[in-house]
Structure 1
Amino acid sequence: MTVMARHKIGLVLESLNLPFRNALRLAGTLGVDGVQVDAVGDLAPDQLSTTGRKEVRHLLRSFGLELAAVGCPLRHGLHEAAHLEGRLARVQKTQTLAYDLGARIVVTWPGSLPQADAPARTIFTDSLTQLGRHGDCVGVTLALAAGADPPAEFSAYLRTFTCGGLGVQIDPATLLLRRLDPPQVVTMFADQIVYVHARDGVPERPDRLFEEVPLGHGEVDWVAFLGALEEVAYHGWLTLRRGPCADPAGDLKAGASLLRRLGA
């Protein structure tokens, strides 16, 4: 019996640790539907001209790949006043870049949620409001990496926004690191989830630190996790991500195969 796929499966291109074109060529052989790329270096918004953006789209098509999302790494959170305007401008340019390249998701970590009565909370809220509205305008959702804050608190906070350009990105390995139960967190965020990273890990114990491992070799219950995503009607991307290791391509290919076997 053929299992109907519910998700597109991608990988974070930087996991392959190769130059962009070589990484795309390899990704096209690993059984995934698309890739996530970081908007840095030659792919930074200010570096990629209109012609360059067309060339990237052509490259993706030539290797049979879609652009799942664009990553926007930030060195400082959106609650820190110093140089904030520059960070906001960078995220907004990345949102526009993502749309131009065919993606509808930008992934970033905004920083930890400040205390409700702290001045930084107002800065944080104003920043997300500005970015959410820009996302509405360009047709791109900002996926905020979850896990640093209590899920129920972060979920309630995000529900106070009226703009539609904000959502949550979750990663079950990060949740394990925070001693959270991934399926329960999925249930808490529910329809706020707009993007999912697929990583596995072994939680920290008295005799060892947290360790990221290949998908299926850790303590993430993938059947329960995928079932929870189905319960909340999340049918978006599952994007494999792998930290430094001996064989990232092999691990990512095996991870994609595992997700397919599980009916993802």
Structure 2
Amino acid sequence: MRFPRAVITDEISQDLAHAVAVAKSFGLDGIELRSAWDRNPHELTRDQVQQVKKIAGDFDMAIPCLAAPIFKCDLHHEEAYAEHRRLLEQTIRVAEALGTRLIRGFTFWEDGRFDSSLSEITDKIGAMEPLLKESGRILVIESDPATSANSSQRLAQVLERIGSENIRALWDPGNNLYVPEAERPFPEGYERLKPYIAHIHIKDVRPDPATGNPDACCLGEGAVGFAAVFKRLQEDAYPGWLSLETHYRINASLSEELLALPKGTAFSLGGEAATRECLESWNTFLKTGRFDG
């Protein structure tokens, strides 16, 4: 079974046409948009949205997900919450224009009060269900290390309480490796989130040799165990997309600020070489069933 594959374009370049050409050259089926021309999806002009559509069409590439920064804000700040609702509304309009079904979201910034804030988190995210249902879109929530639901355990609690087919999980197994109290990404994290998974990010992570802190690395060289992950996804007939989120830079690391809010030229710097390396490794695995190196 071959899964449809994509890459988040700003891991290659802010020049969307170039990023899509690189993706196509590695045999990918689609692209995921987080920032292009230094703008997030909701910031794109109408002309730019049409340009995105044309570029993707010219390369015969689908756009399965918009990797928006929705609800990367303070849970207890009502003005910020209202702004992010507007951000979602704007992103939905872009998704409609591009024929994109999935929109990425989060669970507000981590503030050390997850248990006491769980009801507020689920109420505020769950309140988006009518908007999503009306538009036929799905908000896929990622367990980002900088957010309240920073692990598979916490994200499962959020999604179980919300209980909506329009609010599901974006499983990024590498993220659990940044959180000391998180369970192993696989199989434990996968099993916990399996009932909710609607989209998957592919990012490998291992301890930095100099500091011992977790850091992204070339696909297949980290601690996630993607060979076993891919095998299990095939066994389970996973119906969705796999999208590479490189987050790896050769002989460099991204700053905490850029990891928390990836966007723009500073984020894309050095990304193409690392992404090409990851895609080469992924293609090798598809041909041989193993990762070299």
Alignment TM-score, normalising by the size of structure 1: 0.84
Match of 1:212 among 212, 216, 220: 216
Letter paired with 2:206: V
Moved more, 146-155 or 97-106: 146-155
Is 1:124 aligned to 2:124, yes or no? Answer: no
Contact 1:14 1:37 survives alignment (8 Å): yes
Contact 2:106 2:144 survives alignment (8 Å): no
SS at the partner of 2:201? strand
Structure 2: segments with no counterpart, 5+ residues: 251-272
Aligned to 1:30: 26
Aligned to 1:53: 49
Find the aligned partners of 1:171 and 1:259 in 2 and give their Cα distance. 19
Contact 1:12 1:240 survives alignment (8 Å): yes
Give 1:86-101 correspondences, 5 Å limit. 86-101=83-98
Alignment TM-score, normalising by the size of structure 2: 0.76
Aligned to 1:62: 58
Return the offset for 1:175. 1.8
Aligned to 1:174: 175
Aligned to 1:155: 156
Contact 1:190 1:232 survives alignment (8 Å): no
- Structure 1 residues 46 and 221 mapped into 2: Cα distance closer, same or farther (>3 Å)? closer
Contact 1:53 1:100 survives alignment (8 Å): yes
Find the aligned partners of 1:116 and 1:201 in 2 and give their Cα distance. 27
Q: Report how many aligned residue pairs link the two structures.
A: 256
Is 1:195 aligned to 2:199, yes or no? Answer: yes
Find the aligned partners of 1:256 and 1:33 in 2 and give their Cα distance. 14
Moved more, 39-48 or 160-169: 39-48
SS at the partner of 2:100? coil
Contact 1:133 1:164 survives alignment (8 Å): no
Contact 2:206 2:215 survives alignment (8 Å): yes
Is 1:135 aligned to 2:132, yes or no? Answer: yes
Aligned to 2:283: 257
Return the offset for 1:138. 0.9
Identity of aligned residues (%): 16
Moved more, 210-219 or 146-155: 146-155
SS at the partner of 1:28? helix
Return the offset for 1:187. 0.6
Aligned to 2:259: none
Return the offset for 1:167. 0.8
Find the aligned partners of 1:30 and 1:233 in 2 and give their Cα distance. 23
Moved more, 244-253 or 93-102: 244-253
Match of 2:239 among 235, 238, 241: 235
Return the offset for 1:105. 0.8
Q: How well do the aligned residues superpose, as a CA RMSD in angstroms?
A: 2.8
Letter paired with 2:90: K
Contact 2:121 2:158 survives alignment (8 Å): no
- Structure 1 residues 231 and 157 mapped into 2: Cα distance closer, same or farther (>3 Å)? farther
